[in-house]
Amino acid sequence: MNTRALPSAAAFGKVAVLMGGRSAEREISFMSGKGVLAALRARGVDAHAFDPAERPMDDLRREGFERCFIALHGRYGEDGTVQGALELLGIPYTGAGVLASSIAIDKVVAKQVWIAHGLPTPPSVHLRRGEYDAARLRQIPSELGLPLIVKPSREGSSLGVTKVTSADQLAAAVATAAARDVDVLCEQCITGDEVTCGVLGTGADAQALPLIHIVVPGGEYDYQNKYFTDKTEYRVPCDLPAAEERAVQALALRAYRALGCRGWGRLDVMIDGATRAPWLLELNTSPGMTGHSLVPNAARAAGMSYEDLCLRLLAGATLDYPAERSAQ
C-alpha cells in the first residue's frame, strides 16, 4: 500500500466534517463523523462538526472552511447533492464527484454501467413506480429464480432489503422497498461468500485494500448485524485463497474506475459458492467510518492507522472543476 507523505495539519486549513444529514442513515453518519473528527483533531487538524440538516451549506463559505470531509451516508450526502453544493461553493471535498456519486448510489444505473463494461453483476429486474402490480410480480421468480433479493434502488446500510425465498413473499418485500424508494430492484440471490473490497485513490493510481470476508450469524448482513452486534465476523487478512482475493481486488478496481470514482470507495461482492465466480453488488462512495466499519479495518490490515486513513482521504479532497475555483 502506497503510504506517501501527507501534508502537515496546518496545510489543510479549516476543515468541516459533514455528518448527520437528512437520510435514513443519519444515526450511522454521526457515528462515522465523530470518529473522523476525533482522528483529525488528534493529528492537529483544525476540524469542526457540521450537520447540513441543521445549518445552511453557505455557512461553510461564510465561516471560512477550506475543505470538507464527507461523512454523510445515503441520500443528501452520498448521491451527488452535497457534492454539487460544494462545487458551487468552491470548497474541495473528499470522495467521488457529482456524477460518480449519483450513479453509484443508484444500484440500477450502476449495474447498467458495469454491464456495459462487461463486468459481472447478478441478473435483475427493475420495477419502476406503477409496475408493482400482481401480474408483473408473478413473473419475477421465473425470470430470476428463488431465492432473490429485493431492495430499494437508492438506499444504503441494507435498509429496506428483503431476501425472498417463496413467491408469496414477493409483494410484501416490494412494498417494503418501495416505502424507501419508488424504484425497486429485484436481484438474483448469489449464495456463497460475502466479501468487501475498499479502494483508495483515483484512476490509474487507485489501489485495492485487503479483502474482508464477512461471516454473519444467520447469514443476513442487515442493518442490525452491520452496526449493532459483535457477532458478525470480519475476517481480515481474508481466509479465502490468495488467487480469489487478487481476482476480486482486480474486479473491484475495474468497477470503481468504470463509475469514475475518486478518493475512496468500497465494493460489495458475492463469490458464488459453487463456481467461485465473483459478482458485483454495489459500490459505496462514502463508506462507514464507525468502529464496525470495513474500510478502516482493511486499511489497518494494510498497515494504515485510522488517523492516517482520515488524513489521506482529506489530502485527496478536490473538486470536479478545481481550475474554476482558482479563477474566482
Q: Each residue's pLDDT tens digit in the chain (328 positions)?
A: 655 678 899 999 999 999 999 998 899 999 999 999 999 999 999 999 999 999 999 999 999 999 999 999 998 999 999 999 999 999 999 999 999 999 999 999 999 999 999 999 999 999 998 788 899 999 999 999 999 999 999 886 578 899 999 999 999 999 999 999 999 999 999 999 999 999 999 999 999 999 999 998 765 545 454 444 567 899 999 999 999 999 999 999 999 999 999 999 999 999 999 999 999 999 999 999 997 899 999 999 999 999 999 999 999 999 998 865 544 4
The answer to whether residue 201 sits within a structural domain is: yes
Residue 3 has what pLDDT? Answer: 54
**Predicted pLDDT of residue 327:** 47
Q: Does residue 195 sit within a domain?
A: yes
Q: What would the 3-class secondary structure string for 88-151 be?
A: HHCCCECCCCHHHHHHHHCHHHHHHHHHHCCCCCCCEEEECCCCCCHHHHHHHHHHHCCCEEEE
268 is catalytic: yes
Task: Tell me whether residue 227 is one of the annotated catalytic residues.
Answer: yes
User: Is the domain of 199 the same as that of 155?
Assistant: no
Q: Is residue 5 part of a domain?
A: no
Both 212 and 304 in one domain: the answer is yes
Catalytic residue flag (residue 25)? yes
Question: How far apart, in whole angstroms, are the C-alpha atoms of residue 66 and residue 71?
Answer: 16
What domain count does the chain have? 3
Q: Report the SS3 class of residue 311.
A: helix
For residue 164, the domain's CATH number is 3.30.1490.20
* Same domain, yes or no: 109 and 254: yes
Both 240 and 108 in a single domain? yes
Inside any domain, residue 239: yes
Structural domain containing residue 271 = 103-120+191-309
List Cβ neighbours of 193 (8 Å cut-off, separation of 6 or more).
Answer: 213, 240, 270, 271, 273
**220 annotated active-site:** no
Q: What is the pLDDT of residue 130?
A: 79
Can you tell me whether residue 185 is helix, strand or coil?
strand
Catalytic residue among 77, 225, 268, 286: 268
To the query of whether residue 284 is one of the catalytic residues in this protein, the response is: yes
Whether residue 216 lies inside any domain: the answer is yes
Q: Any idea what the Cα angle at residue 138 is, between residues 190 and 194, rounded to 5°?
A: 10
Do 79 and 213 fall within a single domain? no
Q: Specify whether 282 is catalytic.
A: yes
Selected catalytic residue, list 124, 282, 306, 312: 282
157 tagged catalytic:
yes
Q: Which three cell numbers stand for residue 128?
A: 419502476
What pLDDT is attached to residue 228? 46
Record the cell numbers describing residue 151, joined without a space. 431492495
Question: Among 221, 227, 256, 306, which one carries the catalytic annotation?
Answer: 227
Residue 220 lies in a domain: yes
Residues 111 and 172 in one domain: no
From the candidates 43, 67, 266, 312, which is the catalytic residue? 266
Catalytic site residue from 153, 284, 293, 297: 284
Q: What phi and psi values does residue 131 have, to the nearest 5 degrees?
A: -110, 20
Residue 288 annotated as catalytic: yes
User: Any idea what the CATH number is for the domain that residue 62 is in?
Assistant: 3.40.50.20
Tell whether 112 and 200 lie within a shared domain.
yes
Q: Which residue, 170, 188, 206, sits at the end of a domain?
A: 188
Same domain for 226 and 301, yes or no, is yes
Residue 220, domain CATH: 3.30.470.20
Neighbour tally for 228: CB within 10 Å: 10
Residue 115 and residue 159 share a domain: no
Q: Does residue 300 share a domain with residue 198?
A: yes
